[in-house]
Amino acid sequence: MKLVRFGDLGSEKPGIIGQDDVLRDVSAHIADYDSAFFSQDGLTKLKAIDTATLPVVDGDVRIAVPVAEVGKMICVGLNYADHAAESGMDVPPEPVLFFKATSSIVGANDAVVLPPKSEKSDWEVELGVVIGKEAKYVSEEDAMDYVAGFCVVNDLSEREYQIERAGQWCKGKGCDTFGPVGPFLATPDEIEDSNNLSIWLELNGKKVQNGNTNTMVYKVPFLVHYISQYMSLQPGDIISTGTPPGVGLGFNPPIYLKEGDVMRLGIDGLGVQEQIVECYKG
């Protein structure tokens, strides 16, 4: 199944894309794709609905974040060896973890707004993993039992804030609009192998990132297991698993986002995002 939330900000409804690739409104049956939905076996209830009978959604509607009220977004840094190299850093002996502010999370095609005086904002296409039930001290072997699905994430980063200012990475990662998610959540049955997916990003029509999740240092089952040793993962939480090479920081000289730039990014089986870059106007 492909779960979508659609509608204006604050008025989103749950929808589903069926086998006919048509977006349909499921709000008469499901309240929302939130923590309660996942924890109360909502995916099983959703499977029982005859999607062909649901009303079709207007094609011009805004596509929202596919998960409502995300509790936390945990990100994995330097999880592709070639990206670590372009960043001038070593592959870590254990996963590097940081949080992205939930206020940074926006829809897949919403505008990305650069902070005032930002000069080093950067892109990062990543595979997102959505948790379906509480995961606490889980084994690597059982980890996929806790995964509700997968999605595309753009883990935007203000490199000056992240690297050049004292403190933790979260200052450069949590800016408003710096976490587009979606356009949909694909349940695991939709994805043959999450560890072998093409992953790419284009800037103004030029492909700058072109990788595959099979080069991740730490794979999805291990990440779910590993993170659950340090904190419980709750239904609706998102893990963003790291980015392949081709970020702006890695170019010589570096390339950073500016007003009017267009990012287009996607992952096999998980759809495509597109964002226009704007500057904060106050």
CA proximity to 187, closest of 120, 129, 122: 129
Structure tokens at 183: 């356009």
Using CB atoms within 10 A of its CB, is residue 223 exposed (0-12), middle (13-18) or buried (19+)? buried
pLDDT in tens, 69-108: 999 999 999 898 877 777 777 788 999 999 999 999 999 9
pLDDT in tens, 19-28: 889 999 999 9
pLDDT in tens, 159-218: 999 988 887 888 899 999 999 999 999 999 999 999 999 999 999 999 999 999 999 999
Q: Which domains does the chain have, with CATH numbers?
A: 2-53 (no CATH), 73-279 (3.90.850.10)
Per DSSP, the three-state class of 111 is: coil
Report the amino acid identity of residue 37: F
Q: What's the average model confidence in pLDDT over 106-114? A: 98
Number of neighbours of residue 109 by Cβ within 10 angstroms = 17
pTM over 0.85: yes
Place of tokens 């939480």: 237
What are the respective helix, strand and coil percentages of the chain, to the nearest 5? 20, 30, 50
Q: What's the average model confidence in pLDDT over 260-277? A: 98
- The pLDDT of residue 26: 98
